[in-house]
Amino acid sequence: MAAAEGPVLLFPSTSSTSARVEAVVVFNICDSYVRRPDQAERVIGTLLGSVLPDGTVHVRNSYVVPHNESPDQVALDIEYHHNMYASHHKVNPKEVIVGWFSTGFGVSGGSTLIHDFYSREVQSPIHLTVDTGFTRGDASIKAYISSNLSLGDRHLAAQFQEIPLDLRMLEAGKVGFDILKSTIVEKLPNDLEGMESSMEKLYVLIDEIYKYVDDVVEGRVAPDNKIGRFISDAVASMPKLSPAAFDKLFNDRIQDNLALVYLSSITRTQISIAEKLNTAAQIL
Amino acid sequence: MATIVNTTEEEPMLAVVRFTAELAWADAGADVAEPEVTRLCVEAQQHILAARWLDMASLMLASADLLLQSTRLPDKDKDLECILAIICNLVTKARSQDEALQIAELICAKLTHQPQDKPALRLKVLFSLYNLLGSPYAKAFVYKKALDLAAAGKAADCIIPTFKNIDSFISDWGIGKVEQRDLFLAAARILKDQKGMNKEYFNFLNKYLATFDGSADDADAIGDAKEEAVAAIIEFVKSSDLYQCDLLNMPAVAQLEKDEKYQLVYELLKIFLTQRLDSYLEFQSANSALLKGYGLVHEDCITKMRLMSLLDLSSRCAGEIPYHAIIDALKINDDEVEYWIVKAISCKILDCKVDQLNQVIIVSRHTERIFGMPQWQSLRSKLGVWRGNIASAINTIQANKVTDDGSQGIQGLMIR
C-alpha cells in the first residue's frame, strides 16, 4: 500500500528541516535522464548548494555521476565524481555537496548504498527524487533525509523521511522560462510585445479577483474575510491614480518607448547603409 | 512520505522479535529461554508468510512495555526507536486501509498508555507512523493521538512546530467540522500555557470559534464555546499587535451579547472594533473591576484604543485627516499628534504622509478593524477602476504596436 501524497509531519530535531531547489537543477536532471545510456534505468548524481542558517538545504546546481546497478550492488564512478566536484568547486567555492539525486519514483533498495557513500562525503545529505516516468501522472519531485535503524550494534534498516520541498521559481527565472517552455520561438519579444503579454496576464488575474469579489457582494459566494483582507492590502499597496492620470502616465511611457524603438531602427538603418557603401567602395 | 529500506539479510521484523524475546527471557536461563525465543520466532515467521500483519503487530507490541521499562538496554532510546519504527512499518504492508488503521490504533494505544515516560520519543514514533500511513482518516487519527500525548506528556515543544501546517493537514485529511473543532480546541489548549505564543493561541481560538456557523447542528455545542469566546476577546484586547479580527461576525461570540455573565465582555469587543476612545473611557469608568478581573491593564487598553480610533478616523475621512480631528478622537495634546502617527505606522496599521504645513495626514492605506460588506463593496469599486486602467493600457499598447522594421518605426507616435 503506497503512502498518499500530502504534507509531511516533521519532528523538530530533524537536522535538515526543508529543501529549496532551483529550477535549473530539475532541468539538469531531466536533461541527463533524456541523454542517459541505453541500458541505464535511472540516472543519479550529486547535488551542490549550501545549508542556510535555519537548516534549509538550498540546492543550486547538480551533475550526473556514471553508475552501474544490479539488484544486490551499485557501482559508482567515484573518481569522476571527485573530479567534477573539484571543477565545480574552483568555479564556485560556495557550492558544496549537499546530497544526491536520482530519477524514478520514491526510494529503491540500492538507494541506501548510494546514500551511505554520500554520508561519508557530507554530514546528513539529502536525497532528491524526480519521477521522470510520471508514475502518478505528474513529475513528482521529493526530498528525503535518511536515518539508520540499529538494534544494538546491528544495522537493520534505513528510514528515508520526506522533508518539505520548495520549488518556487524566482521572478527573473520565470521570464526566461516562459520563453523557453514553448517548443518553437521564432523571435524574442520586443519591449512592447513583452509589456502587452504581461498586461494581458495581469488583466486576466485582476478580472478573476474582481469576479470573486463581485460574487461575494452579490451574495453568490460566502465571504472569506482572510482573502478579502489580503486583496485589500494588495490593492492598497498600489498608488491612487484616477483613470485619466493613469492613462496619461502610461501613454507617456509608451511614447518614450516608441521614440527609443524609432531611434534604434534609424541607427540600424544607418549602420546597414554604411556597410553597403563600404562594400561598394572596396569593390571599386 | 517515509520509506524503510532493509539493509540486512535477515528480515528486520524477525530480528526485532528475536531481540525482544531474548530480552524478555534473559533471566530464565538458557535452557528455558531458547525454546521460548524459538517459539516466538516461528510464530512471527508464520504471521509473515500468511501476511497476517495485524497479528504480527500484536505479537511485536506485546513486548513494547517491557522494552519501555527495561534497564538492560545499553542504548535504550536508539534501540526502542528502531523497534517501534519497524513495528510502524507494518502499516505499509497491510492489505487494506482498514487493516492499516487497526495496526495504527494498536500502536497508538501502546504509545499513549504512559505519556509521561519519554514523551518526545513516543511522539517521534507517532510522527513516523503518520508519515508511513496512506489513509487520510488514519493520518488524522494518529495526529489527534499525538496532540493528546503532547498535552498529557508536557511535550508541547515537539508538536507546536507542526501547527503552522494545520490548514494543509486538514485539507489533506478531509475531516468534518466537528473533528476540526476538537483539533483546534486541543491545539489552543496546548498553546494557552506556552510563553510568547499569545498570537498563535488567539489564531487557534479564532479557528475553533469559526467552526460554529450558527446552524441547527451547532445548537447544542455552541454553548460550550462561551469560555473560549471570552478568552479570544480578552486575548484580542490584550494583544499589542492585533488590530483586526472577525470575532464580531461569529455566532459563537454573538451569543455572549444575551448572556448575563459575559454581556459586558462582548460590549468591550464591540467598543474595540466599532467605536472610539471616548466609548472605552465610559465603559472603563463603569466596569473597572471587570477589566482588572480579566488582567487587562487600563494604560495598555488606552494605547490600543487610541490606535483603533485612528483607524476609525482613516476609514471615515476620504484620505485626509485634519490634526484637530485626531486631537479630539485620541484625547491628546497638539504636540502628540505626530507621535501617534509614527506609532501607527510602526505597528503597520497605517501608511500615510504628514503635511505639517496644512496640519493634515494624507492616508494611503489603513487596516480595516472589521471586514464587512461595506469593505467588500469598496474593494469591488477599487478593483473595477484598476481593471479599467489595465484594459485601457492594453488598448494603448495595441494602438501603438510597431514592428522592428525601421520604415515603420514612427508609426503610432502620434496616436492619442
In chain A, where the domains are located: 9-173, 189-238, 241-284
Domain span at residue B341 reads 297-369
Q: How far is CA A264 from the centre of its chain?
A: 35
Interface of B with A in 92-131 (CB under 8 A): 92-97, 100, 123-124, 127-128, 130-131
Domain for residue B309, yes or no? yes
Are residues B247 and B147 part of one domain? Answer: yes
Tell which of B369, B386, B402 closes a domain.
B369
pLDDT tens, residue by residue, A161-172: 788 888 766 767
CATH match for A9-173 among 3.40.140.10, 3.40.50.300, 3.30.70.260, 3.40.50.2300? 3.40.140.10
Q: Check B375 against A232: CB less than 8 A apart.
A: yes
Measured between CA atoms, how close is B300 to chain A, in angstroms? 26
**Could you tell me the CATH number of the domain that includes residue B334?**
1.10.10.10
pLDDT tens, residue by residue, B236-254: 998 888 898 889 888 999 9
Report DSSP letters for chain A, one per residue. -PPPPS-----TT-S--EEEE-HHHHHHHHHHHHT--TT-S--EEEEEEEE-TTSEEEEEEEEE--EEEETTEEEE-HHHHHHHHHHHHHH-TT-EEEEEEEESSS--TTHHHHHHHHHHHSSS-EEEEE-TT-TTSS--EEEEEEEEEEETTEEEEEEEEEE-EE-PPPHHHHHHHHHHTSS--SS---HHHHHHHHHHHHHHHHHHHHHHHHHHHTTSS---HHHHHHHHHHHHTS----HHHHHHHHHHHHHHHHHHHHHHHHHHHHHHHHHHHHHHHHH-
Domain for residue B82, yes or no? no
User: Residue A20 forms beta bridges with which residues?
Assistant: A58, A166
Per-residue model confidence (pLDDT) at position A3: 43
Domain for residue B328, yes or no? yes
Q: Check A156 against B392: CB less than 8 A apart.
A: no
Q: Check A200 against B143: CB less than 8 A apart.
A: no
Domain for residue B11, yes or no? no
Record the cell numbers describing residue A76, joined without a space: 559508482
Dist. CA A167–CA A99, nearest whole Å: 16
Which residues are within 8 A (CB) of B55 and not within 5 positions of it... i.e. 6 or more apart? Answer: B47
pLDDT tens, residue by residue, B82-96: 888 988 988 888 878
User: Residue A159 forms beta bridges with which residues?
Assistant: A147, B4
Is A228 in CB contact (< 8 Å) with chain B?
yes
Of A203, A232, A265, the CB nearest to B368: A232
Are residues B251 and B312 part of one domain? Answer: no
Check whether B335 has a pLDDT greater than 70: yes
pLDDT tens, residue by residue, B263-316: 899 989 989 998 889 899 989 899 889 888 999 988 899 999 999 999 998 887
Are residues B334 and B256 part of one domain? Answer: no
Measured between CA atoms, how close is B288 to chain A, in angstroms? 33
Dist. CA B130–CA B143, nearest whole Å: 7
Are residues B323 and B263 part of one domain? Answer: no
Are residues B317 and B239 part of one domain? Answer: no
User: Residue A93 forms beta bridges with which residues?
Assistant: none
Return the residue matching grid coordinates 503597520.
Answer: B348
Are residues B302 and B248 part of one domain? Answer: no
φ, ψ at B44 (rounded to 5°): -65, -40
Per-residue model confidence (pLDDT) at position B416: 38
The residue type of B271 is I
Q: Check B249 against A225: CB less than 8 A apart.
A: yes
Of B2, B373, B379, the CB nearest to A161: B2
Identify the closest residue of chain A to B14 by CA–CA distance.
A156
Are residues B147 and B269 part of one domain? Answer: yes
Mean pLDDT confidence for B162-170: 87
Q: Check A144 against B3: CB less than 8 A apart.
A: yes
Torsion of CA B116, B118, B122, B123, to 10 degrees: 80
Q: Check B400 against A151: CB less than 8 A apart.
A: no
Positive or negative: CA dihedral A186, A190, A192, A198:
positive
Per-residue model confidence (pLDDT) at position A101: 92
Check whether A241 has a pLDDT greater than 80: no
Q: How far is CA B402 from the centre of its chain?
A: 53
Domain for residue B394, yes or no? no
Is B164 in CB contact (< 8 Å) with chain A?
no
Q: How many domains does chain B have?
A: 2
Record the cell numbers describing residue B369, joined without a space: 478593524
Q: Check B143 against A9: CB less than 8 A apart.
A: yes
Per-residue model confidence (pLDDT) at position B59: 84
Is B402 in CB contact (< 8 Å) with chain A?
yes
Are residues B268 and B184 part of one domain? Answer: yes
Are residues B269 and B147 part of one domain? Answer: yes
Are residues B352 and B314 part of one domain? Answer: yes
Of B95, B379, B409, the CB nearest to A265: B409
